[in-house]
Structure 1
Amino acid sequence: MSFLWAVIAGLVIGVLARIVLPGRQPIPIWLTILLGIVGALGGNALAGALGVRDTGGVDWIRHLLQIGVAALVIAVVSPVWGRRT
């Protein structure tokens, strides 16, 4: 069940990260999900290092960090993927 939640979270975070980035990203949806999962894990690690991983209520800072890391990863991978195909 946690694998399913990781895929769902990766999809949501990846799509939000693509919305934040300007222009078009020529990557497929499966890569968006994978990079969203990477962004979620990286954002969690960064939030833990900053001491904002678990707060009372909704962890908005952690979620913003997850989207930011995913956007950074997508911004790096997208041009490489575009040249590849």
Structure 2
Amino acid sequence: MIGFIVAGLIIGALARLIKPGKQQLGILATLALGLVGSVIGGTLANLLGTGDIFELNVLGFIFAVIAALLLIGVAEGITQKRHKSVR
């Protein structure tokens, strides 16, 4: 379980590094999106038959980073909409 949390943090941080521009997300949001990305990536890799959802493999890691990147983009869009509507 601790390894899963650490992997989620690494995946979330990596996704933030890949995404261009300044993000308005905190460390907890990054961790949460990284964890969700890990679950999505692990599930996709599992469906492709590369291993168990909690098993660390290259394809699952790639899918997890891509999923986290997409989730960060969606979260950024929602955050920006809220800031624009408040003004």
TM-score normalised by the shorter chain: which range applies? 0.7 to 0.9
* One-letter code aligned to 2:66: G
The code of the aligned residue for 2:26 comes to P
For residues 18-58 of structure 1, give each alpha carbon's deviation from its aligned partner in whole angstroms, at most 9, with x where no partner exists: 1111112111110000000000000000111122236xxx7
**1:7 aligned to 2:12?**
no
Residue 62 of structure 2, aligned match among 54, 61, 64: 64
Q: How many residues align?
A: 80
| Alignment gaps of 5+ in structure 2 | none
Identity of aligned residues (%): 35
Q: Which residue of 1 aligns with 2:21?
A: 23
Structure 1 vs Structure 2 CA RMSD: 1.7
> 1:47 maps to what in 2?
45
Q: For structure 1, which runs of at least 5 residues remain unmatched after alignment?
A: none
Q: CA deviation at 1:77?
A: 0.9
SS at match of 2:24: coil
Q: Which is greater in Rg?
A: 2
Instruction: Give the distance between the partners of 1:51 and 1:69, measured in 2 at CA.
Output: 18
Distance 2:27 2:63 in 1: 21
Q: How much has 1:84 moved relative to structure 2?
A: 3.1
Structure 1 distance, partners of 2:71, 2:17, is 14
SS in 2 for 1:30: helix
